[in-house]
Amino acid sequence: MTQFDTQVTRMVLAVVHSQDSDVVETELEQEGVSYAKFPSTGGFLFEKNVTFLIATDEQHTEKIVDLLSAAAKKRISYVAATMDYTPFPMIIPAETMVGGVTIFILKVDHFEEY
């Protein structure tokens, strides 16, 4: 699938943890999927992310979603949390999930190339 083989009817926005971005990029390139990527920051931990913009058609959307979800994995991370109601501040490690992918699929009614 190349950029000119399909009629663009969908825009896939995928927000990927920065640790997974190289794997996602490699997988997209192996499948011949055109994309743009932008650095981003977000979430309650303010982790570094990469946002991928992928233009595709309706029939290839599911394949791209499967590729993204297989390439970007969730994992456990630890953050410093303070215990409330103690005589002195105590910091304990708190387990949290990071990584994975957040996917938005938008319908494209019209686009123009200049």
Which CATH number fits the domain that encloses residue 24? 3.30.70.120
**Spatial contact of 61 and 105, defined as CB atoms under 8 Å apart:** yes
- Whether 86 is covered by a domain: the verdict is no
Over residues 31-65, the pLDDT tens digits come to 999 999 999 887 656 778 899 999 999 999 999 99
For the entire predicted model, the pTM comes to 0.76
Q: How far is 24 from 90, CA to CA, in rounded Å?
A: 39
- Whether 30 is covered by a domain: the verdict is yes
- Whether 81 is covered by a domain: the verdict is no
Sole residue written with tokens 């953050």? 79
How many domains does the chain divide into?
Answer: 1
CA angle 38, 40, 71 (to 5 degrees): 75
Q: Does residue 2 carry a pLDDT above 60?
A: no
Q: How far is 11 from 70, CA to CA, in rounded Å?
A: 19
Task: Please give the pLDDT value at position 5.
Answer: 54
- Whether 29 is covered by a domain: the verdict is yes
Q: Which domain holds residue 32?
A: 10-74+100-107
Q: Does residue 19 carry a pLDDT above 90?
A: no
Task: Please give the pLDDT value at position 81.
Answer: 77
Return the number of other C-beta atoms located less than 10 Å from residue 49's C-beta.
Answer: 23
- Whether 89 is covered by a domain: the verdict is no
Taking CB atoms within 8 Å and a gap of at least 24, the contacts of 34-40 are 34/2, 34/3, 40/15
Confidence of residue 112 (pLDDT cuts 50, 70, 90): confident
Torsion of CA 16, 21, 26, 31, to 10 degrees: 10
Task: Please give the pLDDT value at position 41.
Answer: 83
Side chain identity, residue 6: T
- Whether 69 is covered by a domain: the verdict is yes
- Whether 1 is covered by a domain: the verdict is no
- Whether 93 is covered by a domain: the verdict is no
Phi first, then psi: give them for residue 9, nearest 5 degrees. -125, -10
Over residues 65-95, the pLDDT tens digits come to 999 999 988 878 787 777 777 777 778 887 8
**Spatial contact of 43 and 13, defined as CB atoms under 8 Å apart:** no
